[in-house]
Amino acid sequence: MKQQNNITRRDFLSKSTLAGIGLGVTLSTPGILAASQLNGNNESLLNMKDTKIGKRTLGKLEVTELGFGCMNIAWAYGNPPAKADAVKLIRNAYEQGIRFFDTAEIYGPHISERTTGEALRSVRKEVVIASKIGFNIDFETAQMKGVLNSKPQHIKQAVDFMLKRLQTDYIDLLFQHRVDPEVPIEEVAGAMADLIKAGKSVIMVCRKPEQPRYVGHMRSIR
């Protein structure tokens, strides 16, 4: 039987520190690699350049089966890496064949999006970027002003600032990070539809739907 040369998540995690800067990786959601902490080892344990990474379809988008989660380059589990190291990590993931990168306004807040945008600016047309809105974060200071905010005007303003941080004019996959119980789903769906019509997003979805009716509205505007 001919041996396939497709990399698996298990292969990647067991053999790789993502070459060049010694940053470990852990698996978050299925198929998404998350940046972890510096481990002091600058040697690559796996060169993925000659290994084919499979692709899958998400609606209108084609993504690699391995994505790269950009949460831990800003905060969360352990101390985040220095910005220069985080940029190198993301670029190295791209060089190894990954084309799907996941970030959010809440990661930092804003730090992950800025770093991701800087790292991928030169290859923007070759990658799929996912990001998330839905929290009440000051657009300029990144300070939390509350918890959730999915009011239509806030969503539209948030996306405009996200585009600046990501150094792009569109976001491929935009999630509502959390359902806001204070805002009717019809209003959220309307704001998302307006952003799609304006070319600021390709697909928009709810990340944690709480009822079938919500899912139906989100599907209707893809």
Active site residues: 107
DSSP designation for 121: G
Angle at the Cα of 97 from the Cα atoms of 92 and 99, rounded to 5 degrees: 95
Collapsing DSSP to helix, strand or coil, 203 comes out as strand
Question: Are the C-beta atoms of residues 116 and 90 closer than 8 Å to each other?
Answer: yes
Question: Are the C-beta atoms of residues 171 and 199 closer than 8 Å to each other?
Answer: no
| Cα-to-chain-centroid distance, residue 37 | 18
Q: Which residue matches tokens 């053999």? A: 15
